Structure 1
């Protein structure tokens, strides 16, 4: 086997030199790319009946990569977004191959022609104000776990933080002085941002820090699990779903919505949008890299109005003529 077709040296230089030293990739990016390439190598080894260490670069040709992507969707039931994320990692590796080993340029070029798959963008789900309040109020405040849960839910709802940002907050990221309370969130791609904290969250955080014996200047996690380790993503999701389950008795509509920590982020964005906050401010608040990501909230608001018009018996076809019936006037008056 010729030296330039060996896979192992290219994989090693991709992670050690390109991602770590040249691009200073975050641990999350390294983990994501590692998992994608590990899955590809295991798939190739099983398909070609070779040991992973015996694979050569030309084994990872365009047809094999396409078969791998198909398996992600068809057998592993991955979403189009997950499929595209795996492909992004593979493409990044083959960009490195093309630059590091010109003799393998043809192999890399054929893989790089695989396009990103278009995905259907669904209407963004969010919670109403009463639904958010019901979930936040459901934990038992007489127990330490209940007080932690309520504070965590309140933190998600008031800051719009991603779950990774919320569980990553330390006590020294907080500034709880009256009048300028804020928290430093460590976002994706090392993009940090400062978000204001309302007084109800200030009181809850202060009580939680007191319960745990922490000061505002300690680099210790705020939200911890049963063994005082930093709360995990799985634990955060469990807290949210448990609280939503308890709130079902007062808000049955919660049973129709996909409940996860991220739904609080969408809910805050919709609340800000309906309060007259512009999309650029919402983009900055939520830490979106592009304003196009924030536009989906405006689209969701338009979609809700369309559904309301349909319930009122008005056609929303582009060719239909709009006639403001009494039902429509009542609907618009209630918004």
Structure 2
């Protein structure tokens, strides 16, 4: 086997030089790409009945990568979005291969021709204000854990922060002493942004930090887990699930909805849109890299109008069951 086809040196140079030094990738990106390539290597080793350390670059050919992507969807039940994210990591590695080892260009070229799979984009799920309020009120305020949980849920609902942004904030990211309190969120791709925070969240954050004896200038985490370190993504999900389980006793419809920490972000975006806030402002607020991502909220709002019209007596194909008035006809023309 020729030396240029050895896999280990290419993987090492990819992570040590390409991602870390040349692209200055964030730790989250490095971790995501590492996991994708680790899964691919383990899949190849099992499929070829070889030890991972003995694999060569030529073993990771186009057919094997396609088989790996199929397994993600068929056996692991990954979504198309997850499948595409894994493929993005693999393609990034083979782009490095094509530049670092010209003799392996053919192998890399065949893998790079694998297309991104198109996915059906569903209407964005969100919660009503009453449902969000029910979840925020669910934690037991008589316990320190309950007060932390309520503040965390309130933070998600009022800021629209991503889970990674919410669990990553420190006390010195808060500016609650200003006339217009703010929080600095550290977003994806090292894109930071400043978000206004309302009075109820300011009170909850101030109380939470006061209980733990944390000053606003300290670089200590606001939301912590059992070991007094930054709350994990798993911990954040558990907080939401615990709130759903309790709130469902009052609002049983919550038990049937796909509720995750991210739904608070969608819910805030919908409330901003329905209040007349323009898409560019919502884009800046949520930290979307492209306004096209924000447009899905407008699509979801149109879908809500359609459902309302259906209840009023117009079917999904706009077949009239009653004689609509001029206002309804104008609304149909605007959709």
Pair 1:323–1:110, CA change in 2 (3 A):
farther
Q: How many aligned positions are there?
A: 331
Q: Deviations over 1:58-89 (max 9, x none)?
A: 11110000000000111111111110000000
* Residue pair 2:244, 2:254 contacting (<8 A) in 1 also: yes
In structure 1, the residue matched to 2:53 is 53
> Are 1:262 and 2:256 matched, yes or no?
no
Spell out, residue by residue over 1:197-223, the C-alpha distance to the aligned partner (whole angstroms, 9 max, x if none): 100000111100100000000000011
Q: Distance in 2 between matches of 1:323 and 1:268?
A: 36
Q: Pairwise mapping of residues 180-259 of structure 1 onto structure 2 (< 5 A)?
A: 180-259=180-259
Deviation at residue 239 of structure 1 after TM alignment = 0.7
State the partner residue of 1:98: 98
Distance 2:321 2:9 in 1: 65
Q: Corresponding residue for 2:16?
A: 16
Task: Name 1:34's counterpart in structure 2.
Answer: 34
TM-score by length of 2: 0.95
CA distance in structure 2 between the partners assigned to 1:313 and 1:322 by the alignment = 7
Deviations 1:264-291 (A, max 9, x none): 0000000000000000100000001111
For 1:277-316, list aligned pairs within 5 A: 277-316=277-316
Displacement, 1:317?
2.4
- Aligned-pair CA distance for 1:230: 1.4
Gaps in structure 2 of 5+ consecutive residues: none
Greater shift, 180-189 or 312-321, is seen at 312-321
| C-alpha deviation, 1:315, in angstroms | 3.0
* Inter-partner Cα distance in structure 1 for 2:323 and 2:103: 67
Segments ≥4 residues shifted beyond 3 Å: 318-323, 325-329
- C-alpha separation in 2, matches of 1:32 and 1:270: 29
Match of 1:142 in 2: 142
Distance 2:319 2:6 in 1: 60
CA distance in 2, matches of 1:111, 1:321: 54
